[in-house]
Amino acid sequence: MRKSGKRIERRTFAATAVCFFTSTLVTFAHHSVFADFDRTQEKQYRATVSSIAWTNPHASFHARVDSARSANDWLFELPAPSGLERAGWKPNTVKANDAVLIIGFPAKDGSAKVSVHRVVLGDGRTIVLDHPFAYQPDYRPPNF
């Protein structure tokens, strides 16, 4: 009896260690919005959505930006799906070929990536996504 109890303790310890180290790897793989994107420059992008990925740690969508810049296919990073849902966004809120106005922060390295702050949908609704106070009960989004 005593021998099997130690075996269970070892298995429990091993499973806990594996879970801990796996979660640590995911944390290291995640990046900071402040490190990758220039939060001092809020820019607007008129675009047509190409595809959407409703995944963790960030949902995202690709879109064709209407501009003179040579890179026409852009990556727009969104919060995690749970944050999108709190902001009123559902998996079918934006679909391929939808025209949208995106307000967000460009990549510091100049690549065609944007951290999305707000999205104005084709019907005129605005969804505020990542304002630091957006989930506080008395928050009022800024006009733009």
**Which stretch, 32-41, 85-94, 111-120, 126-135, has highest mean pLDDT?**
111-120
Please say whether the dihedral angle defined by the alpha carbons of residues 100, 129, 110 and 113, taken in this order, is positive or negative: negative
Local confidence band at 7 (pLDDT 50, 70, 90 cut-offs)? low
Yes or no: say if 104 and 115 are a contact pair by the CB < 8 Å rule: yes
Strands 43-53, 99-106: pairing kind? antiparallel
Please tell me the pTM assigned to this model: 0.68
Local confidence band at 36 (pLDDT 50, 70, 90 cut-offs)? confident
Least confident of 27-31, 43-47, 78-82: 27-31
**What per-residue confidence (pLDDT) applies to 4?**
55
| Mean pLDDT of the region 97-108 | 94
CA–CA separation, 104 and 84 (whole Å): 15
DSSP letter for 91, please.
T
Cα three-residue angle 43-47-52, rounded to 5 degrees: 105
